[in-house]
Amino acid sequence: MIQVEGLTKYYGARAAIRDLSFSIDQGGVVGFLGLNGAGKSTTLRILGCVLLPTSGTVTIDGYDVTKNPHEIRKRIGLLPDTPPVYDEMTVGDYLAFVAQLRGVSGTQVTARVKEVEKTCFLEDRHGDPISSLSHGYRQRVGVAQALVHKPRLLILDEPTGGLDPVQIVEMRELIRRLKGEATVLVSSHILTEISQICDRYLVLHEGAMIADGSESVLANKLGGADSVEIDIVGGVDKAVTASQAVATVTEVTVWPSGAVHTLRITASSDVRASVVKALVSAGVDVVRVDKVQGRLENIFLKLTHGKETV
Amino acid sequence: MRNVLLIARRELSAYLRTMSGYIIFALMLLADGLWFNVFAVPGPGKKSADVLADFFTGSSGITLIGAVFISMRLIAEERSAGTITLLYSSPVHDWEIVIGKYLSALAFFGVFFAASLYMPVLVAVYGKVSPGHIFAGYLGLMLVASAALAIGTFGSALTRSQVLAAVTSMVMVLTLTICWLLAKVTDRPLTEIVTGFAWWGHFDPFRNGLVHLRHVIYFVLVTFISLFAATRVLEARRWR
């Protein structure tokens, strides 16, 4: 559905994204991950036909963003990082305006507005002025406007930004609901916020793509570098020496927490058993052993700090 | 065309839903009424036609200043509030955005002119003026509003700050005004060129009840060039 080849965007002399290439099939939820300034918003804005690329080609449903942006705009719904709402309008009036703007026929407008208000939990806010809404509700109105014309592609830039934990759960639920209706692209710099809803992740760092795949694929590819956490009592120096002597251990860090010290041991294979053995024979008391899962957060930190490419 | 009307209608309803629209409207009407009473009407043995001409003189100045303030928010506000992204990502052409915004402001002035109509009507009732004079005067005012609003739309497209937009537009409008004074101190053939740019020289016949095509063309041309420039600015924004 989306083909991106060598996409580059410069703001003045600074490259926001460099030579991005990827393709996205129809259906499912794709997450764009990256720190602030990684180029997520720029990429999504180009896909949303708001910005023009400096070079490279982007086609959506066979249409080119520079040659046929109008055809693409009919097929997409975009929620930018701040919801594009007119404060003085009521929720209902605003959604009706957007529906007409995106080409929903006059007779369908009322029905469509009703439908998206239901989908986005906005039914009881139909007549409220947008200026009176809380941040969470404004964000929902933002999603509703992107949905109102039944787009085939839904682009949500930081939909969970600034929401409280309860609202984040609701927003995730909302995105899950949309899964069947459209292909959804969603971006975030806080991984846990979208970690359970995406089928695939594209990780951006400093304008370049450094990883692409599902959570388990990314975890497996980086799985070799998992770490083990071991809490010990007494003999820190002995413990460090003993664990460093174990084969495949690459790094040992220690941080104290009261009488107990925590060792974080990074190794290229599962070293729990051999490290514990080494510690016990060195006379160190082991009180906890834990394998730190290669979950998204860790994968992301590894990727962005180590700049490894998967 | 559907999109133009859609955008214009939303913009007009924003004037009605916010205080700024009402305030500017009331101030313009107040200034117009004061001008009429203080400068246009008084004068020993003043002819009705002169009263009317003086009324149109004051109204044109008020229109010019009012247009700058009405148009400053048109596009600048969309950019500062981020709503321009909504228009950019919808199947709407950039020129439709510009024309829609401009038309809503022009409609606002249409209402203002209708509300000020009681003054010329009073002159007609108590004095002797031809309906054609009133018509020509209002046509001139509408053309002044059109040109000034188009310049204002262009100024508003240049920046996201409404204040900066108003200042830029005011400078452009003032330049076209000062050309008239400049014409008095320059030699030919420069005089002709500078006079050609000055809006006042093109408005003067209207306030005296005369409609000349070349003067109509001047205002239409200023409107067209400014709106065209505003559209190009919107297009250029997509590159950054």
Confidence (pLDDT) at A222: 60
The string of DSSP codes covering A80-126 is -SS----TTSBHHHHHHHHHHHTT--TTTHHHHHHHHHHHTT-GGGT
Range list for CATH 3.30.70.100 in chain A: 227-292
C-alpha span between A127 and A106 (Å, rounded) = 20
Domain locations in chain B? 2-237
Residues of chain A with pLDDT > 70, as a percent, come to 92
Lowest mean pLDDT among A165-179, A206-220, A272-286, B109-123: A206-220
CB contact under 8 A, A51 and B238: yes
Rounded distance between C-alpha atoms, residue A49 and residue A64, angstroms: 10
Query: Model confidence at A117, in pLDDT bands (50, 70, 90)?
Result: very high
Distance from CA of A13 to the nearest CA of B (A): 11
The 10s digit of each residue's pLDDT in B2-38 is: 899 999 999 999 988 888 889 999 999 999 999 999 9
Question: What is the complex's ipTM, to 2 decimals?
Answer: 0.90
Chain B residue at shortest CA distance from A145? B86
d(CA A135, nearest CA chain B) in Å: 15
Give how far A78 is from chain B: nearest CA, Å: 7
Interatomic CA distance for residues B236 and B240, integer angstroms = 8
Of B73, B76, B97, the C-alpha closest to B86 is B97
Give residue B9's pLDDT: 95
Contact B88 A49 (CB under 8 A): yes
Average pLDDT score over chain A? 86
For chain B, how are helix, strand and coil distributed in percent, rounded to 5? 85, 0, 15
Q: What is the mean pLDDT of residues B179-187?
A: 85
pTM of the entire structure?
0.84
Tokens of A220: 């497996």
In the predicted model, what is the mean pLDDT of residues B80-86?
Answer: 94
Cβ of A78 and B85 within 8 Å? yes
**Is A23 part of the contact surface with chain B (CB cutoff 8 Å)?**
no
Other C-beta atoms closer than 10 Å to the C-beta of A23 total 10
Question: Are the C-beta atoms of residues A239 and A286 closer than 8 Å to each other?
Answer: no
Has residue A226 got a pLDDT over 80?
no
Instruction: Specify the pLDDT at position A225.
Output: 53
pLDDT band, very low/low/confident/very high, at B116 (cuts 50, 70, 90): very high
Nearest CA in chain B to A72: B91
What average pLDDT does this structure show over A25-53?
90
The answer to whether the Cβ–Cβ distance between B17 and A101 falls below 8 Å is no
So what's the pLDDT on residue A224? 46
- Chain A, nearest residue to B77 by Cα: A86
User: What pLDDT is recorded for position A228?
Assistant: 82
Mean pLDDT score, B75-99: 94
**A35 residue type, one letter:** L
Task: Give dist(CA B69, CA B162) in Å, integer.
Answer: 9
Percent of chain B with pLDDT over 90: 79
Q: Which fold has domain A2-221?
A: Rossmann fold (3.40.50)
CA A156 to CA A158: how far, in whole Å? 6
Q: Contact B6/A87, CB-based, under 8 Å?
A: no
The CATH 3.40.50.300 domain(s) of chain A lie at: 2-221
B83 interaction partners in chain A (CB closer than 8 Å): 84-86
Task: Report CB contact under 8 Å: A88, B14.
Answer: yes
Model confidence at B235: pLDDT above 70: yes
CA angle centred on B107, ends A92 and A95, rounded to 5°: 10
Q: How many CB atoms lie within 10 A of CB B39?
A: 14
Q: In degrees, to the nearest 5, what angle opens at C-alpha A157 toward C-alphas A152 and A163?
A: 120
How is residue A187 written in tokens? Answer: 């971006």
How confident is the prediction for chain B on average, in pLDDT?
93
- A49 touching B, CB under 8 A? yes
- Please write the tens of the pLDDT for every residue from B56-70: 999 999 999 999 999
In chain A, what is the straight-line distance between the N-terminal and C-terminal CA atoms, in Å?
Answer: 23
Residue B121 scores a pLDDT above 70: yes
Across the interface, do B90 and A98 touch by the CB < 8 Å criterion? yes
* Distance from C-alpha of B193 to C-alpha of A204, rounded to nearest angstrom: 57
Q: How confident is the model at residue A296 (pLDDT cuts 50, 70, 90)?
A: low
Scan for tokens 């490279």, then name that residue: A56
Chain B CB contacts of A74 below 8 Å: 91
- Domain A227-292, what fold? Alpha-Beta Plaits (3.30.70)
pLDDT in tens, A275-284: 899 889 888 8
Tell me which of A309 and A242 has the higher pLDDT: A242
Distance from the Cα of residue B91 to its chain's centroid: 29
Which of A25-29, A38-42, A224-228, B96-100 is the most confident on average? B96-100
Cβ-based interface (< 8 Å): residues of B facing A: 2-3, 6-7, 10, 13-14, 17-18, 81-93, 238-240
- Closest residue by Cα to residue B238 from A173, A73, A90, A54: A54
In chain A, whose CA is at the least distance from the CA of B1? A101
Q: Has residue A308 got a pLDDT over 60?
A: no
Lowest mean pLDDT among A114-128, A150-164, A185-199: A185-199
- Which of A86, A93, A139, A155 to mutate to probe the B interface, most B CBs <10 Å? A86
Mean pLDDT of A154-182: 86
Give the lowest-confidence range in A159-163, B52-56, B130-134, B214-218: A159-163
Q: Are B63 and B141 in contact (CB under 8 A)?
A: yes
Q: Which residues 73-92 on chain A approach chain B with CB closer than 8 angstroms?
A: 73-74, 76, 78, 80, 82-89
The mean per-residue pLDDT over the stretch B139-151 comes to 97
Mark yes or no for CB contact A52/B239 under 8 Å. Answer: yes
User: Is A162 near chain B, with CB under 8 Å?
Assistant: no
- What pLDDT is stored for residue A56 in this prediction? 93
Question: Packing angle between helix B131-158 and helix B199-207, nearest 10 degrees?
Answer: 160
**A-interface mutation test, from B5, B15, B20, B89, most A Cβ less than 10 A away:** B89
Contact A86 B83 (CB under 8 A): yes
CA distance B237 to chain A (A): 8
What pLDDT was estimated at residue A110? 95
How much is the pLDDT for A298?
67
Looking at mean pLDDT, say which of A56-65, A238-247, A294-303, B180-189 comes out highest.
A56-65
Cβ density class A6-15: b for 16+ within 10 Å, e for less: ebebbeeeeb
Q: Which of B13, B17, B90 sits opposite A101 (nearest CB)?
A: B90
A12 contacts in chain B (CB < 8 Å)? 240
